[in-house]
Every structure is written in structure tokens, then in C-alpha cells.
Structure 1
Amino acid sequence: MADTPMNIFDIAGRAMSAQLVRLNTTASNMANAGNVTGSAAEAYRAIKPVFRSVTESPGVSTVKVENIVTTRAEPIKRHDPNHPLADADGNVWESAVDSSAELVDMVETARMYENNVQVLQTAKSLLLETVKMGK
């Protein structure tokens, strides 16, 4: 951490950065939904960020992206002998991505990001009003 304590702009900014990482992983998952490969090992599996709370002092905490992990969801095996990627048994594996859950994550992430934008706008307005009072 820096030598100066976190302020409202640092806290909201870090939260917004974490939500951007979450939105990027969701976009990656959505981009790969429905993709097929010739083996279960090659099939895409959804990725998710792991967040960690960062508490500088009592009452002052924010979030940090600790890691990005691959989910344990298994790809879906589908018999499609005419597909060019089908294995010797005529099977292909569809990526392990739940599109519905990803859409819910996307909406939730956008709302959390917007909430932090509102926090920054409110803090800015309060600071400007305080400066005006001092004139």
C-alpha cells in the first residue's frame, strides 16, 4: 500500500477496476460459448475472477483481484459425426459455459460498476460544495 491512506476515490477506483476484470472474463466466456473442439481436454472452460477484501484500517476497505481461475464445469459431449472436428467416435465437446449465468453476471457487474461511478460523482459534488462554502 502507499504511504497515504486510501480515500473515497481510491476505494471506488479499485472497485471499478475489479469489476472491469470481471466484465472482461464474462466477455471472454460469452465469446467462447458454443465453441466446439475434438476433445474434452481442448474444450474451453469458463473463467472467473477471485476477489479479496483489502482492509487498510477499520472502516476503510476495498477489493483486489486475487486471481483468475478456470471453473470445474465439464464440457458437453455431443455426437456429431459430420462435424469436421469430430473425433474417431464422431463426438465433439462444447465449451463449458452457461450463457444464462454469464448474462446475469454481466448485468450484475455493470450495475456494480455504475454504483461506484455514482459514488465518485457524489464525492466530487460534496467536495465542490465544501469548497464553495469556504469561499
Structure 2
Amino acid sequence: MDLIKSLFVSASGLKAQNGRMRIIAENVANADSTGRTPGEDPYRRKIATFKSHFDKEVGGEMVQLGKLSEDTTPFEVRYEPGHPAADEKGYVKAPNVNTLVETVDMREAQRSYEANLNVIEATRRMVQKTIDILRA
């Protein structure tokens, strides 16, 4: 039944977006994490990727969280001479996490999650109506 297939496809979307939100939350949590010693790199932003595969059992394209990649943009450098990770000139490397970008990414992931949830709810209602019609 195609309605059941749509449940599985949407559930895979929920799981993928949930993983994406977890990675975004990790980025935000580490937005102020610096290295512990001079010259040590701070936290590097992670980027979620997705991959799709055909599930023979379901008979449809499923999505899943792919390999994590690291953002290669340069670290921000701040002048903090008293910081334990400051170099000889007093500069500290800060993570390449922009909380505004993370907030926008989180909103997009949230909307995708909600869209998949709406598909599941609509499918559930259609299946229930079908069962009600068959009982009558």
C-alpha cells in the first residue's frame, strides 16, 4: 500500500532531520570553545550531509544522515592576552561557528521535520478513513 510507504519515507526524513538538529546543537554549544593551549585549534564547525538510498523492502527512496563534514572556513582570531590559549602576541583562535547561521539552519531543519510530521499525520488520517469505510 502506497500510504504505508509514505509513512516509512517520512519517518526516514524525521530521523535525518533529528540528526541534523543534534549536529547544529553541538555547533552552538561549542561556539565559544577555544583550544586549551597556545596554537591549539578550537572546535571546528560540523556540517550535516544527507544521502538517499532505495529501500527494496519499502519500495521507495529513503533519506538518511550522511557523512559529517567539517567547515573549512578559517578560525576567528581574537585579542585576549590573558587567555591560557593565547599565543605570544596575545591572540586566541576562536571556533568558526556563526550562531546566526546555526539559528537559520536549525529553523530550516525544524521546518523540514514538521513537514515530514505533517505527512505522517495526514497519512495516518487517510488510513483511518479507509479502515472506517471498509468497516461500513
**1:30 alignment partner AA:** V
Structure 2 unaligned regions, length at least 5: none
Using the aligned pairs only, state the percent identity: 26
* Gap change, CA 1:104 and 1:22, over 3 Å in 2: same
Correspondence for 1:87? 87
Alignment correspondent of 1:42? 41
CA RMSD after TM alignment:
1.9
Describe the SS at the equivalent of 2:49: strand
Q: So what's the TM-score if we normalise by structure 2?
A: 0.85
- Partners in 2 of 1:107 and 1:90 — Cα distance? 37
Counterpart contact for 2:39–2:85, Cα < 8 Å:
no
Residue in structure 1 matched with residue 119 of structure 2 by the alignment: 119
Alpha-carbon offset, residue 120 of structure 1:
0.5
Q: Secondary structure of 2:66's partner?
A: strand
Match of 1:7 in 2: 5
**Equivalent residue in structure 2 for 1:17, among 15, 25, 49:** 15
Comparing 45-54 with 108-117, which one deviates more in the overlay?
Answer: 45-54
Give the CA deviation at 1:88.
2.4
| Native 8 Å contact 2:48 2:69 kept in 1 | yes
- Structure 2 contact 28–99 (Cα < 8 Å) conserved: yes
After superposition, give the CA deviation of every residue in 1:32-84 in whole Å (9 maximum; x if it has no partner): 11222245542111101111122347x93221222111111211112211223
Relative distance call for 1:41 and 1:86 in structure 2 (3 A) is closer
Count of paired positions: 129
- Please, which runs of 5 or more residues in structure 1 have no aligned partner? 1-5
Question: Which residue number in structure 2 is paired with residue 55 of structure 1?
Answer: 54
